[in-house]
Amino acid sequence: MLDEYELTQHYRYWKEDLDRVRETGVSMIRYGIPWYRIEREDGVFDWSWTDQIMAYFDAHRELIPIIDLIHYGTPLWMEREFMNERYPEYVARYAAAFVERYRHITSYYTPLNEPFVNAEWCGWSGTWPPYLRGLSGFVSMMRQLCKGIVLTVESVKRLQPEAVLVHVEAAKKYVPADASFAEPTRLWNEIRYVMWELVQGRVDGAHPLAGWLLSHGMTPEDLAWFREKAIVVDIVGINYYPQFSVNVIDKEVIEKEKIPAPVLAGEQELVEIAVDIYRRYGRPVFITETSYNGDERQRVEWLEKVVEAGSRIVEEGVDLFGITWFPFMDMVDWPYRTNGRSIKENMATFGLYTLEEMPDGTLRRVKNEAGKRFETEVKARKIE
């Protein structure tokens, strides 16, 4: 995994970065906690860095943090990472320790960011540890991640009953390569909701995903466990990217178990996904991530489309909690981990702030046109 805070120098400039966020006028921020730095040894927690961050939020109550307990990655001592047999127990223990220490500062938490993407990269493509492959690997990984989510919610709610859990998942929509793939595409448009269905205990013998899950390694006992331990979802968080969120079902997916390839989409698909998931679960919907990897003009154009999409989503009767532009500043793209290229060559231009490398190696934060437009949009909608 990559430590984006290290690569973008946020550990050094965290205060200035958070000050910039506050200056936009936003009322909330999604903020990931680097679990692997907090718990460097099994059961031993070092809060020295996190104490500074949470003290900042305590001093600036106008900016409410939604804490990502795990954005990506696990502690280095945890053998087999997410597939460690005790992972669900470990993550729940860590969540309880965090809430016990900081519940006086925030009541918003995300148990795990994008289980689907974790299961794809760690369990299906074998790109990330523990390098499982195929749909059986995907299902094994999803079982572990979802058990961790359930136990995390239990531990958080036990300590802080008023806590609000924002369950963040990658928004997905599947389209067929041609008419012959219509039936498998319908199945994949059920699979995209597998996390939601499992943690809420909705998968029984008659469920459309039951046979698929059982044929790829889940057991009847697993499904019974999720039904017995079912949690209530407070807020449905969806991460939508027009360049990645809509994918094609074709022969490569069906016959070779390849991960579906993305196609460029737009705001209409975002509206459709938000409406569909609200009708399915009846819970507030939060667009927890969206942005565009491109030049400043493209990012401004996408921001305009997102604002319009938000209005349309509300008009459709959806209880829309909010919209998050992510990332706030440019980030180092995931291939940096293995491609041998420099940080500059791997910079993904999603942000409202551009990261400019100075001669001394410092990454200077520069508000770009998307950042200026974002701030204008936020302040135009600010309710005093």
Pairwise CA distance, residues 259 & 263, whole Å = 13
Return the pLDDT at 381. Answer: 79
Count CB neighbours of 144 within 10 A: 24
| Contact partners, residue 358, CB within 8 Å, separation at least 6 | 364
Percent of the chain topping pLDDT 90: 96
* Gap between the terminal Cα atoms of the chain: 41
Pairwise CA distance, residues 370 & 20, whole Å = 14
Tell me the pLDDT of the chain averaged across its residues: 97
Name the residue type at position 251.
K
The token pair at 375 is 């701030």
| pLDDT per position as a tens digit, 54-90 | 999 999 999 999 999 999 899 999 999 999 999 999 9
Closest by Cα among 301, 353, 287 to 21:
353
The token pair at 309 is 């999409």
Return the pLDDT at 49. Answer: 96
User: Following DSSP, what letter does each residue of 162-198 receive, concatenated?
Assistant: T-EEEEEEE--EEEESSGGGHHHHHHHHHHTTHHHHH
DSSP 112: -
Return the pLDDT at 2. Answer: 86
Return the pLDDT at 382. Answer: 66
Count of structural domains, the chain:
1
Say which residue the tokens 């209530």 belong to.
Answer: 232
The token pair at 304 is 């305009």
Q: In what order do the strands lie in the sheet with 173-176?
A: 173-176, 246-249, 261-263
Strands (E), the chain: 28-32, 64-68, 108-110, 164-170, 173-176, 235-239, 246-249, 261-263, 285-290, 320-325, 331-332, 347-348, 353-357, 363-367
Count CB neighbours of 60 within 10 A: 14
The distance of Cα 376 from the centroid of its chain, to the nearest Å, equals 26
Domain that holds residue 76: 4-380
Low-confidence ranges of the chain (pLDDT < 50): 384
Return the pLDDT at 384. Answer: 43
Residue 370: CATH number of its domain? 3.20.20.80
The token pair at 26 is 């936003």
Pairwise CA distance, residues 2 & 216, whole Å = 30
Name the residue type at position 93.
R
